[in-house]
């Protein structure tokens, strides 16, 4: 019997687990840790190093250490936010085919899916070693607001790692599944997922085995990385003032400041002030310098106030979109390392009038949900087997039914049904520069809708169907996705030709568009080529 892995492929950290009838088993790193840094190093000494060991090279050769790849995967390198994120990394990124970002290490060029596939392969191998059997299938989680291109690229990464990606599921949904699985609950939950690189909020209705997302929104460029960068900039300014050298052009110095900023940030989650000095700062002249710092929690909260406020704004918007009020929410689930920041929990408590749930583990719950879904898709798992989040106790790698002092009802086996939603409105370009919406944001997936369009002129034999993403009535105000062309149509009077356009968003959140001339049967079926996504033919080859 093969096992299917659940993988939380994070910006900073990844976690993998399997669900068995006795509990959730986490895949452990070399030192027994459940959390694997999403870091890939290509050290000068040769080879590829992944995970905790790769992190060690950050100081000595920062330009060979690829971290935060999730911020670039499936993205268009020309987008302003990508350009901004590039200022936060010390490795080299260039524009590749289809405007996708390409990592350059020495003379080696790699696509983002290739980078992430190293992390996935590392997890796959660790799992195989730990479980003593091959692992082929996996469920991988992605931020709820990931676009089509980002999802395609993530699947591609799985494929390159030799995994059959059965499904991509949204991170907040996975968390809700881990929380509610096997518990026969009826409640509304708000999942607030604030990690290293992305931010998501989802409102779900849990009704026994059914997990229905009512609305979801977020920002895939908002996370702990941004808080680190904000603080590192302050440190860099101090550095310039005190040591009379601008550290910003120096990769190793900036890396050290970023790491210092992250440590200060985490310290401030437990303490009211952080004081000390960052040493070992190698100045250009060969001298080693140190930077004293003193930051209070209040100062930090003010510095990142714009970001934290934005998370709260989005939370309110999502509640409005779901048509629920804070009072209706039965539980607030905090997911992601950045929810350890006290001001976040305080603001959430203000919004909801109650403290967020304390029992779930913000680092592990997403992988746990992915594992449950993987087990359920391969029919090796059913409800009532003690996979709920609360049963994940901190033994080495195993959360078993026997621990936790609690017996779960071994009732009728019911597989969970996840009703996730479409992350963005999808539409086509119509006459007059307007759009015709086919699929709404927050509509349940998988979903399919068909519309019949007609030609605007006599004898029109060619039709282009421009597809876009966005809520705007005007086409140009949305994000173009690609164009489908129907050619050699029979010459007909305007309005006589009927063209059927179908949009389907599959259960992974990936869009498929089809157009069909109803009479002649001329059919164009195409997978839209999204800018920034790996084109279907290129992987390593395209990047060379």
Partner 1 sequence: MSVRSEALQWAQRICARTNPEPHQLLEIPADAGMEEAQEAFHKAARILHPDLHRTTLTPEDLEVVTTAYAKVAGAYQEFRSQRMTTTRMRPMHIGPTAAPAPRPIAPPTDGPIPTRTTPIPKSAHVVPETTPSAASSAMSSKALIYYRKAELALRRGDLRGAMLQLKMAIGADPASTFLRSALGEVEAEVAKQLK
Ligand X SMILES: Nc1ncnc2c1ncn2[C@@H]1O[C@H](COP(=O)(O)OP(=O)(O)OP(=O)(O)O)[C@@H](O)[C@H]1O
Which residues are catalytically annotated? 8, 70, 171, 193
Which strands, in side-by-side order, build the sheet including 434-439?
A: 434-439, 426-430, 463-469, 479-486
- Residue 86 CB partners (closer than 8 Å, separation 6+): 93
Look at residue 70 and give the partner it binds from ligand X, Mg ion, partner 1, none, a contact being a CB closer than 5 to 8 Å depending on partner kind: ligand X
Which CB atom, from 284 or from 444, has the smaller least distance to partner 1?
A: 444
Pick the piece of the chain touching ligand X (CB under 6 A) from 108-116, 117-125, 260-268, 381-389. Answer: 260-268
CB 390 within 8 A of CB 405: no
Report the length, in residues, of the chain.
Answer: 544
Which CB atom, from 367 or from 515, has the smaller least distance to Mg ion?
A: 367
Look at residue 363 and give the partner it binds from partner 1, ligand X, Mg ion, none, a contact being a CB closer than 5 to 8 Å depending on partner kind: ligand X
- 423 touches ligand X by CB under 6 A: no
- 275 touches partner 1 by CB under 8 A: no
Which CB atom, from 112 or from 486, has the smaller least distance to Mg ion?
A: 112
Q: Assign residue 404 a region: left if phi > 0, alpha if psi is -120 to 50, beta otherwise? A: left
Q: What is the closest distance, in whole angstroms, from the C-beta atom of residue 543 to ligand X in the complex?
A: 23
Among 62, 158, 182, 224, binds ligand X (CB under 6 A): 224
- 431 touches partner 1 by CB under 8 A: yes
CB 295 within 8 A of CB 273: yes
Look at residue 455 and give the partner it binds from Mg ion, ligand X, partner 1, none, a contact being a CB closer than 5 to 8 Å depending on partner kind: partner 1
- 266 touches ligand X by CB under 6 A: yes
CB 130 within 8 A of CB 18: no
Task: With H, G, I as helix, E, B as strand and everything else as coil, classify residue 390.
Answer: helix
Q: Return the residues of window 173-232 that contact Mg ion according to CB under 5 A.
A: 195
Q: What is the closest distance, in whole angstroms, from the C-beta atom of residue 171 to ligand X in the complex?
A: 6
First to last CA, the chain: 39
Whose structure tokens read 């520069």?
433
Q: Return the residues of window 65-94 that contact partner 1 according to CB under 8 A.
A: 80-81, 84
- 338 touches ligand X by CB under 6 A: yes
Which strands, in side-by-side order, build the sheet including 498-505?
A: 447-454, 498-505, 511-517, 523-526
| Paired residues of 511 in beta bridges | 505
Q: Return the residues of window 103-132 that contact partner 1 according to CB under 8 A.
A: none
CB 491 within 8 A of CB 451: no
Structure tokens at 493: 């009077």
Pick the piece of the chain touching partner 1 (CB under 8 A) from 33-41, 112-120, 185-193, 492-500. Answer: 492-500
Nearest Cα residue to 35 out of 344, 366, 371: 366
CB 507 within 8 A of CB 445: yes
Among 415, 526, 527, 542, binds partner 1 (CB under 8 A): 415
Which CB atom, from 106 or from 346, has the smaller least distance to ligand X?
A: 346
- 494 touches partner 1 by CB under 8 A: yes
Look at residue 460 and give the partner it binds from ligand X, partner 1, Mg ion, none, a contact being a CB closer than 5 to 8 Å depending on partner kind: partner 1
Q: Assign residue 480 a region: left if phi > 0, alpha if psi is -120 to 50, beta otherwise? A: beta
Which CB atom, from 40 or from 257, has the smaller least distance to partner 1?
A: 257
CB 439 within 8 A of CB 467: no
Look at residue 457 and give the partner it binds from ligand X, Mg ion, partner 1, none, a contact being a CB closer than 5 to 8 Å depending on partner kind: partner 1
Nearest Cα residue to 467 out of 404, 527, 420: 527
- 363 touches ligand X by CB under 6 A: yes
> How many of the other CB atoms lie within 10 Å of CB of 280?
10
Buried b vs exposed e over 85-101: b needs ≥16 C-beta within 10 Å? beebbbbebeebebbbb
Pick the piece of the chain touching ligand X (CB under 6 A) from 221-229, 308-316, 394-402, 448-456. Answer: 221-229
Burial class (CB in 10 A: 0-12, 13-18, 19+), 430: middle
Site residues, Mg ion (CB under 5 A):
10, 195
Q: Site residues (CB under 8 A) for partner 1?
A: 80-81, 84, 207, 210, 212, 219, 221, 226, 230, 233, 306, 310, 313, 376-379, 415, 417-419, 424, 428-433, 436, 439-440, 443-457, 460-465, 470-472, 475-480, 483, 494-496, 498-499, 504, 507
- List contacts with ligand X (CB under 6 A): 10-13, 70, 195-198, 223-225, 262, 265-266, 269, 336-338, 340-341, 363
């Amino acid at each position: 019997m093969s096992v299917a892995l659940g993988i939380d492929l994070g910006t900073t950290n990844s976690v993998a687990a399997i669900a068995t009838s006795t509990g959730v088993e986490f895949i452990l790193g070399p030192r027994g840790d459940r959390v694997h840094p999403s870091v890939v190093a290509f050290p000068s000494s040769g080879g590829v190093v992944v995970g905790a060991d790769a992190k060690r090279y950050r100081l000595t050769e920062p330009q060979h250490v690829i971290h935060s790849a999730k911020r670039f995967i499936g993205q268009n390198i020309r987008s302003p936010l990508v350009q901004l994120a590039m200022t936060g990394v010390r490795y080299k990124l260039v524009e590749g085919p289809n405007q996708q970002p390409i990592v350059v290490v020495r003379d080696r060029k790699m696509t983002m899916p290739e980078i992430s596939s190293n992390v996935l392969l590392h997890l796959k191998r660790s799992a195989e070693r730990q479980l003593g059997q091959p692992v082929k299938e996996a469920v991988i989680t992605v931020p709820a607001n990931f676009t089509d291109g980002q999802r395609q690229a993530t699947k591609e990464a799985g494929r390159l790692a030799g995994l059959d990606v059965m499904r991509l599921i949204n991170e907040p949904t996975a968390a809700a599944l881990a929380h509610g699985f096997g518990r026969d609950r009826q409640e509304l939950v708000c999942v607030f997922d604030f990690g290293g690189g992305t931010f998501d909020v989802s409102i779900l209705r849990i009704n026994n085995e059914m997990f229905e997302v009512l609305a979801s929104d977020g920002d895939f460029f908002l996370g702990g990385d941004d808080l680190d960068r904000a603080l590192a900039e302050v440190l860099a300014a101090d550095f310039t003032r005190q040591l009379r050298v601008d550290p910003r052009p120096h990769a190793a110095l900036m890396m050290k400041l970023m790491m210092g900023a992250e440590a200060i940030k985490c310290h401030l989650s437990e303490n009211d002030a952080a004081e000390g000095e960052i040493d070992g700062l190698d100045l250009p002249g060969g001298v080693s310098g140190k930077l004293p710092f003193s930051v209070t929690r209040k100062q930090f909260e003010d510095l990142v106030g714009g970001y934290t406020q934005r998370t709260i704004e989005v939370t309110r918007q999502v509640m409005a979109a779901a048509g629920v009020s804070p009072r209706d929410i039965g539980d607030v689930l905090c997911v992601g390392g950045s929810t350890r920041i006290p001001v976040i929990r305080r603001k959430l408590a203000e919004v909801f009038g109650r403290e967020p749930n304390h029992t779930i583990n913000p680092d592990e719950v997403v992988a746990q949900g992915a594992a449950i879904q993987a087990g359920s898709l391969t029919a090796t798992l059913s409800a009532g087997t003690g996979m709920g989040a609360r049963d994940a106790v901190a033994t080495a790698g195993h959360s078993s039914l026997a621990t936790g002092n609690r017996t779960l009802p071994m009732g009728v086996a019911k597989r969970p049904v996840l009703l996730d939603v479409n992350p963005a409105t999808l539409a086509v370009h119509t006459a007059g520069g307007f759009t015709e919406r086919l699929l709404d944001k927050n509509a349940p997936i998988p979903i399919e809708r068909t519309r019949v369009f007609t030609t605007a002129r006599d004898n029109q034999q060619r039709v282009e169907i421009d597809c876009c993403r966005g809520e705007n009535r005007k086409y140009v105000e949305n994000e173009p996705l690609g164009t489908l062309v129907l050619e050699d149509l029979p010459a007909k009077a305007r309005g006589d030709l009927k063209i059927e356009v179908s949009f389907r968003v599959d259960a992974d959140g990936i869009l498929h568009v089809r157009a069909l001339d109803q009479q002649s049967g001329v059919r164009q079926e195409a997978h839209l080529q999204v800018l920034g996504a790996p084109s279907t033919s290129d992987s390593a080859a395209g990047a060379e």
